[in-house]
Amino acid sequence: GLVRVVAVDGPAGSGKSSVSRAVASRLGYGYLDTGAVYRALAWHALAHAVDTSDASAVVDASGDFDLWISLDPAEARVSVAGTDVTEAIRTSRVTEAVSGVARVPAVRRGLTGLFRALVAGAGRPGVVVEGRDITTIVFPDAEARVLLTADPAVRAARRTAETEGADVAVVAASIERRDAADSAVVEFMDAADGVRVVDSTHLDFEGTVDAVLAVIAEET
Ligand code: C5P
């Protein structure tokens, strides 16, 4: 079926999850957080005591990865083999392990196929798909492609405000480490040809949602 795709990429803390969810709600589209799927796979590997720096062990663990994810923008839930991991995938243990899992090429190929199948079967007119390589690898022919960016200091400040008891210097270092690791695998700091940049550094949440909706309206 022809499910329309809006592809949104960006670095850690760019606000792409909350913005993409709001955009999906406004359009009546589904929402797919691909980072949540990478996180769920990292959680699954850790739950099976897999060394996430060992690529072949990670590939083995991905063989019995039984994922369920809600595509409803109003209800972000993820489970693995029937266990709800929605909160567990946000812990620092998973956050620190996920880049190691995501750099394995066989894992990326497998999850890319999974994302395409989830979108095709979404039963919705369209899906907003958000991650790091959605505009370039997963859905390069999406109806609209957006790179959502913000200055590193602003991203760290926003992430810190979201997390109770968090220290901005620790958060900034963690974001910087993850962006460096992830950039070595996929290019998302600069927009590919035809990808529109929305810089949210000087925008509030609603302003960012409106800017993304304006790009979509122009592209379609
Ligand atoms: O978006 P989020 O920060 O939750 O993503 C978690 C991790 O999943 C990223 O740090 C990256 O390692 C990986 N990821 C990826 N490709 C995507 C989405 C996420 O490699 N499309």
What is the rounded distance in angstroms from the CA atom of residue 126 to the CA atom of residue 144?
Answer: 11
The strand pairing partners of 127, in sequence order, are: 5, 30
Question: Residue 103 CA: which ligand 1 atom is closest?
Answer: 20
pLDDT at residue number 50: 96
Question: For a substitution probing ligand 1, which of 38, 62, 133 has the most ligand atoms within 8 Å of its CB?
Answer: 38
Q: What radius of gyration, in Å, describes the C-alpha atoms of the chain?
A: 16
In the Cβ-directed half-sphere of 47, how many Cα atoms lie within 13 Å? 16
pLDDT at residue number 171: 93
pLDDT at residue number 13: 87
pLDDT at residue number 1: 56
Q: In the chain, which stretches have pLDDT less than 70?
A: 1
Cα of 132 vs centre of ligand 1, distance in Å, is 6
pLDDT at residue number 162: 86
pLDDT at residue number 2: 86
- Residue where the block lists tokens 């909350």: 18
CA separation, residue 131 to residues 7, 81, 136, 164 (Å): 8, 23, 10, 24
pLDDT at residue number 204: 94
pLDDT at residue number 74: 96
Please check whether residue 91 is in contact with residue 36, taking contact to mean a CB–CB distance below 8 angstroms.
no
**Single-letter amino acid, residue 200:** S
The helix/strand count (H/E) of the chain reads as 8, 8
pLDDT at residue number 102: 96
Does the Cβ of 20 fall within 6 Å of ligand 1? no
pLDDT at residue number 220: 86
Does the Cβ of 179 fall within 6 Å of ligand 1? no
pLDDT tens track for 134-184: 999 999 999 999 999 999 999 999 999 988 899 999 999 999 999 999 999
Does the Cβ of 131 fall within 6 Å of ligand 1? yes
